[in-house]
Amino acid sequence: MSTAKAAQAIGVVHTKQALRARIDAWRSEGLTIAFAPTMGALHKGHLSLIKQGRALADRTVASIFVNPTQFAPGEDLETYPRDERRDLDLLEAEGCDLAYLPSADQIYPEGFQTRISVEDFSKGLCGASRPHFFGGVATVVCKLLHQCRPDIAVFGEKDFQQLRLIDRMVRDLDMDIDIVGAPIVREPDGLAMSSRNAYLSAAERAVAGGLNVVIAEMAAALRAGENVEDVVESGRRSLSENGFEALDYLEVRRADDLSLTEAGPAPADARIFAAAMVGKTRLIDNCAVFEQP
Ligand code: PAF
């Protein structure tokens, strides 16, 4: 069989056995595999993961699984947007070769007991207000990576803490998979694409567009040599003036180990991280301060 990436209908599998059979067949042809785990409700940010996967490997697999263990009681598990037909059409149009849509018992069979904890990367930022979240993410991603056994797995930089945590987990557990980050995809006004943007009313959507503007201004001020403490203080003020009533965090951290920089000039790998509520919707964003190699 030719290894060329001819356009073809996407395959769909629902069990780990069917997934493995497809992966093993590709492996026996000497093909490499990229994997993009998602929770569906796909947007251009997800599709950029597929594009990146296609550029880096011979075959690309996406999973769609709304993972219950990363939602706390009272969060939006029940209402999380789901549209399987549309998601599959989008994946197919992007040239994704295979979609894995497991039912919950494929991931969490009866009697499941294990939870992965990536200690320090689960603390701070989103881990502070969502203490259950990263354990659920690490556990499901560990399962999905074991079921798929890809060469490469692609994650969006919008969830930068998640990306770093998964990279650490894969190295700690000798999983022999390259974790690749894909740049944030933004709306024309700069709002980072997210499945949860669908929750925003028109008025909230107008406010939401200010988050990326404020962190970009903060990055410019840090590049100009201003101190972190002053820039964070004025960033907080700007967000409040721009209609963000509840700020969860606004911090400068190092990209590599996510350690906090509270004062003085920004280090070369500094990133600004923000999370804020607009109405009932929680938005997150981040950006590098300096151009990264
Ligand atoms: O980023 C997401 O959509 C989810 O956290 C992930 C990685 C698919 C795990 O459920």
Per residue in 115-167, pLDDT (tens digit) is 999 999 999 999 999 999 999 999 999 999 999 999 999 999 999 999 999 99
Question: Which residue of the set 14, 46, 132, 146 is catalytic?
Answer: 46
Mean pLDDT of 80-88: 96
Structure token digits, residue 9: 């209908």
pLDDT digits (tens, 9 = 90+) for 49-73: 999 999 999 999 999 999 999 999 9
Residue 27 clears pLDDT 50, i.e. is over it:
yes
Residue 221 clears pLDDT 60, i.e. is over it:
yes
Category of 199 on φ-ψ map: left (φ > 0), alpha (ψ -120 to 50) or beta: alpha
* C-alpha distances in Å from residue 197, one per residue of 117, 142, 148, 181, 234: 29, 27, 29, 21, 26
Host H or E run for residue 247: strand 246-254
Residue 141 Cβ inside 6 Å of ligand 1? The answer reads yes
Cα(223)–Cα(90) distance, rounded to whole angstroms?
A: 39
Residue 37 Cβ inside 6 Å of ligand 1? The answer reads yes
Q: Which of 70, 108, 167 to mutate to test the pocket of ligand 1 (most atoms within 8 A of CB)?
A: 70
Residue 62 Cβ inside 6 Å of ligand 1? The answer reads no
Residue 137 Cβ inside 6 Å of ligand 1? The answer reads yes
Q: What percent of the chain has pLDDT over 90?
A: 96
Residue 3 clears pLDDT 50, i.e. is over it:
no
Q: What is the mean pLDDT of the chain?
A: 96
| Amino acid type, 130 | R
- Residue 7: the pLDDT is 52
Q: Are 146 and 116 in contact (CB under 8 A)?
A: no
Kindly give the number of the ligand 1 atom that is closest to the alpha carbon of 38.
Answer: 8
- Residue 2: the pLDDT is 41
Q: What percent of the chain has pLDDT over 70?
A: 97
Query: pLDDT confidence of 4, banded at 50, 70, 90?
Result: very low
Span from the CA of 37 to the centroid of ligand 1 (angstroms): 6
- Residue 8: the pLDDT is 65
Span from the CA of 146 to the centroid of ligand 1 (angstroms): 15
Span from the CA of 162 to the centroid of ligand 1 (angstroms): 8
- Residue 34: the pLDDT is 98
pLDDT digits (tens, 9 = 90+) for 85-109: 999 999 999 999 999 999 999 999 9
- Residue 292: the pLDDT is 85
CA 114 to chain centre: 22
Beta partners for residue 251, in sequence order: 273
Place of tokens 């992965």: 116
Cα(90)–Cα(115) distance, rounded to whole angstroms?
A: 32
Query: pLDDT confidence of 272, banded at 50, 70, 90?
Result: very high
Residue 210 clears pLDDT 90, i.e. is over it:
yes
Residue 1 clears pLDDT 60, i.e. is over it:
no
Structure token digits, residue 263: 């004062």
**Between residues 5 and 262, the one the model is more confident about:** 262
Span from the CA of 34 to the centroid of ligand 1 (angstroms): 16
Residue 38 Cβ inside 6 Å of ligand 1? The answer reads yes
Residue 61 Cβ inside 6 Å of ligand 1? The answer reads no
* DSSP three-state, residue 128: helix
Q: Which of 137, 154, 160, 184 to mutate to test the pocket of ligand 1 (most atoms within 8 A of CB)?
A: 137
Place of tokens 């557990």: 173
R_g of the chain computed on alpha carbons: 20
Residue 273 clears pLDDT 90, i.e. is over it:
yes
- Residue 269: the pLDDT is 97
Residues in contact with 196: Cβ distance below 8 Å, sequence separation at least 6, in sequence order: 76, 281, 282, 283
Q: Which of 42, 82, 140, 195 to mutate to test the pocket of ligand 1 (most atoms within 8 A of CB)?
A: 140
Cα(231)–Cα(292) distance, rounded to whole angstroms?
A: 20
Kindly give the number of the ligand 1 atom that is closest to the alpha carbon of 66.
Answer: 10
Q: Decide if 14 is catalytic.
A: no
Span from the CA of 222 to the centroid of ligand 1 (angstroms): 31
Span from the CA of 77 to the centroid of ligand 1 (angstroms): 13
Residue 229 clears pLDDT 70, i.e. is over it:
yes
pLDDT digits (tens, 9 = 90+) for 160-188: 999 999 999 999 999 999 999 999 999 99
